[in-house]
Amino acid sequence: MRLVVLAGDGIGPEITAATLEVLRAADARFGLKLDLQEMASGVTTLKSEGKTLPDGVIEAIKHADGLVLGPADSYAYAGQGGGAVNPSGYFRRTLDLYGNIRPARTYPGLRSPTGAEFDMVIVRENTEGFYADRNMEQGNAEILVTPDVCISMRRITKLCCDRIAASAFKLAGRRRRHVTAVHKANVLTKGDGMFLASCRAEAEKHPGIAYDEVIVDAMAAHLVRAPQKYDVVVTTNMFGDILSDLALELSGSLGLGGSINAGDRFCMAQASHGSAPDIAGQDRANPASLVLSAAMLLGWHAEQGGTSANAFAAAAGAIEAAVAQVISARDCTADVGGTLGTAAMGRALAAQVART
């Protein structure tokens, strides 16, 4: 498996280094034959080449099986010209990575603010919605009509609704067989109405999977009150972005949020959090989010089949188990109850993977 690795900005290089240590331990333990190609991007290449994504990076990704993407400091890109693109949005759009899969679960030894144990996955449509940088063929979907008037347009298509609904039901079939569609169709009657129509049609194809619907503002309350009720939650882009952060914080820390952006032929691992420039270079950042994202990337590769599928699935499981083990043992960063720095937690995770 050939992976391009872009460390990104802020805490990105630190958590990426820890993630690579874990991936190399999994490679040695399970014989994955990973080809890890580290390349520069983001603020570094914006200063040196005037682009956050140099041509060489884009070309390398065309020949790769997947991408590990560190967080981007998109605020630092503002006003820097056309070469300052957000790598996350760019790859989601150009590689058609329509499914943003974000698990959120509690861990033994780490108390949730709700006091409840839960294990859910939020399946978020990734290529349209209210995101102005990815729902127009040309230009931007946010328009400043006058200095005092802004219009933001949302695009919703049947194709995108159909395939994200199908992804959610496929995932639920491997889990606890329950899908919840989150929407605002009482107000956004046409767009969210189209989304619900796709979810209902998919539910009819899967009579063995429980299906229900919740309005988005009520869902925010339900997640705080009883997150254990939910298994697979499917929703549109912006709602999924907001609810997944809420669910992850309820699990104990946003730093535990693994995430992949998956299409039919390519997958990108990406931490759920931002670049946290305020703690960059201080060896304080929790690497678990990107480590878990990399594990999900290996798991996605296993699902594509092939002679090494079992090894990749086993490696993904070993990495996920290692995260749970280091949290339970307090061999982790301070945000999840430990005393280790970023690099030391990476070493602890790699050691667990090596003996799992």
Which value, to the nearest 10 degrees, does the dihedral of the CA atoms of residues 200, 202, 208, 212 take? -30
pLDDT at 25: 98
Give the Å distances, CA to CA, from 182 to 125, 157, 189, 353. 12, 17, 13, 36
> Per-residue pLDDT for 68 more than 80?
yes
Q: What percent of the chain has pLDDT over 70?
A: 99
Torsion sign across C-alpha atoms 334, 336, 341, 344: positive
> What single-letter amino acid sits at 72?
A
* Cα distance between residue 268 and residue 261, in whole Å: 5
Q: What is the pTM of this model?
A: 0.93
Q: How confident is the model at residue 140 (pLDDT cuts 50, 70, 90)?
A: confident
Q: What percent of the chain has pLDDT over 90?
A: 83
Give the Å distances, CA to CA, from 320 to 50, 209, 257, 324, 350. 38, 26, 12, 7, 11
Mean pLDDT, rounded, for 315-325: 97
The distance in angstroms from the start CA to the end CA of the chain is 21
> Per-residue pLDDT for 282 more than 90?
yes
Q: How confident is the model at residue 175 (pLDDT cuts 50, 70, 90)?
A: very high
Q: How confident is the model at residue 6 (pLDDT cuts 50, 70, 90)?
A: very high
> Is the distance from CB of 109 to CB of 327 less than 8 angstroms?
yes
Report the mean per-residue pLDDT for the chain.
Answer: 94
> Is the distance from CB of 65 to CB of 5 less than 8 angstroms?
no
Pick from 352, 344, 350: which is nearest to 25 by CA?
A: 350
> What single-letter amino acid sits at 135?
N
Running DSSP on this structure, what letter comes out for residue 144? E
* Cα distance between residue 227 and residue 247, in whole Å: 8
* Cα distance between residue 119 and residue 351, in whole Å: 26
pLDDT at 156: 95
Q: How confident is the model at residue 324 (pLDDT cuts 50, 70, 90)?
A: very high
Please write the tens of the pLDDT for every residue from 73-83.
988 887 777 78
Pick from 305, 83, 116: which is nearest to 224 by CA?
A: 116
Three-state SS at 78: coil
* Cα distance between residue 242 and residue 54, in whole Å: 31
Residues with a known catalytic role: 131, 184, 217, 241, 245
Domain ranges of the chain: 1-110+252-356, 112-251
pLDDT at 138: 77
> Per-residue pLDDT for 137 more than 90?
no
pLDDT at 80: 78
Pick from 92, 127, 120, 132: which is nearest to 261 by CA?
A: 92
Three-state SS at 39: strand
Mean pLDDT, rounded, for 324-333: 95
Mean pLDDT, rounded, for 89-113: 93
> Per-residue pLDDT for 147 more than 80?
yes
pLDDT at 84: 86
pLDDT at 251: 93
**Architecture, CATH, for domain 1-110+252-356:** 3-Layer(aba) Sandwich (3.40)
Mean pLDDT, rounded, for 32-38: 97
Please write the tens of the pLDDT for every residue from 216-259.
999 999 999 999 999 999 999 999 999 999 999 999 988 898 99
* Cα distance between residue 198 and residue 185, in whole Å: 13
Q: Which pair of tokens denotes residue 236?
A: 């549109």
CATH of 112-251, one of 3.40.50.410, 3.30.930.10, 3.40.718.10, 3.30.67.10: 3.40.718.10
